[in-house]
């Protein structure tokens, strides 16, 4: 069973690392254990305890497929204070991703995001909610010729799809991302919009690319790597970092720095 790790705890809050594959919140459509269930047991919360039990003190969310840092309140006053910090964009967040292609050195993506179609997908839409993501390239990577050929052979794709991979799956960029808003799938949607899909994105990648990605990277390459906010009581700035998970470190071993 996937479990969270605690990186910090005081009387008012927890900072935990959520593994990829663990859903954050309970819902009627979720029939598996969630981070909310695990936190509720850890904090010994009932569902309605101080209004925190309903969310188990969880102040913000990560996608199921994303790993990384999450802030959890232990009291109602801390919950309200931390929620306010997120709402007022006072919290600084940094994510790490590996994306297809050579992304510009830095930039800011300002595109509204809203729900599109069915199946829980989101996209850039004119009447969507304001969404802003800043980014900075951290490096470029590629497969060796032999490694790429081995993966293509393993994928057993037809010649047309192999040509697609030769164009779209040879070069990658490591990216640090700084979301200024917190929309569902924001980073994934914004990166797709500018033509740089996150590696192994099971929702937004076309099947021919996803099949290839999953041969060498078993999960979405997106990690909530750092967060800074003010302690609800002392008002001191607290900053935390979470190392890249081992499965993503292993994926990077398939690539060479350009």
215 domain-assigned? yes
For residue 51, the model assigns a pLDDT of: 60
Shared domain check, 61 and 128: no
Give the number of other Cβ atoms within 10 Å of residue 166's Cβ: 11
Shared domain check, 84 and 96: no
The rounded radius of gyration (Å) of the Cα atoms in the chain is: 19
Shared domain check, 105 and 39: no
For residue 52, the model assigns a pLDDT of: 64
Tokens of 109: 């993506």
- pTM equals 0.94
User: Which candidate in 5, 37, 63, 127 is catalytic?
Assistant: 63
Q: Is 149 a catalytic residue?
A: no
249 domain-assigned? yes
CA distance 221 to 254: 14
Shared domain check, 202 and 111: yes
Which CATH number covers residue 53?
A: 3.30.2350.10
Sequential pLDDT tens for the chain (258 residues): 789 999 999 999 999 999 999 999 877 667 789 999 999 999 988 655 656 667 889 999 999 999 999 999 999 999 999 999 999 999 999 999 999 999 999 999 999 999 998 778 999 999 999 999 999 999 999 999 899 999 988 888 788 888 899 888 999 999 999 999 999 999 999 999 999 999 999 999 999 999 999 999 999 999 999 999 999 999 999 999 999 999 999 999 999 999
Residue 66 contacts residue 224 (beta carbons within 8 Å): yes
Shared domain check, 102 and 68: no
Domain ranges, residue 157: 92-224+244-258
For residue 157, the model assigns a pLDDT of: 78
For residue 53, the model assigns a pLDDT of: 62
For residue 29, the model assigns a pLDDT of: 67
For residue 84, the model assigns a pLDDT of: 97
For residue 56, the model assigns a pLDDT of: 87
Shared domain check, 35 and 135: no
For residue 125, the model assigns a pLDDT of: 96
CA distance 195 to 227: 27
CA 106 to chain centroid, in Å, comes to: 19
239 domain-assigned? no
Burial 167-187 (b: 16+ CB within 10 A, else e): ebbeebbbbbbbbbeebbbbb
Residue 177 contacts residue 134 (beta carbons within 8 Å): yes
């Amino acid at each position: 069973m996937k479990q969270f790790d605690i990186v910090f705890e005081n009387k008012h809050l927890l900072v935990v690392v959520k593994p990829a594959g663990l859903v954050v919140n309970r819902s009627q459509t979720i029939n598996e254990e969630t981070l909310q269930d695990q936190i509720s047991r850890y904090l010994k919360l009932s569902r309605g305890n101080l209004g925190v039990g309903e969310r188990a003190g969880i102040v913000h969310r990560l996608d199921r497929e994303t790993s990384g840092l999450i802030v959890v309140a232990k009291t109602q006053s801390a919950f309200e204070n931390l929620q306010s910090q997120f709402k007022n964009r006072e919290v600084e967040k940094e994510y790490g991703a590996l994306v297809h292609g050579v992304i510009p050195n830095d930039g800011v993506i300002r595109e509204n995001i809203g729900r599109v179609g069915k199946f829980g997908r989101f996209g850039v839409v004119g009447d969507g909610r304001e969404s802003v993501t800043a980014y900075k390239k951290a490096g470029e990577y590629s497969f060796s010729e032999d490694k790429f050929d081995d993966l293509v052979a393993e994928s057993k794709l037809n010649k047309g799809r192999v040509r697609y991979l030769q164009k779209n799956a040879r070069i990658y960029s490591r990216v640090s991302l700084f979301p200024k808003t917190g929309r569902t799938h924001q980073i994934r949607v914004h990166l797709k919009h500018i033509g740089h899909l996150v590696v192994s994105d099971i929702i937004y990648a076309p099947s021919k690319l996803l099949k290839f990605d999953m041969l060498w990277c078993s999960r979405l390459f997106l990690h909530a790597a750092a967060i800074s906010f003010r302690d609800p009581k002392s008002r001191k700035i607290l900053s935390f970092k979470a190392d890249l998970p081992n499965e993503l470190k292993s994926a990077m071993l398939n690539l060479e720095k350009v």
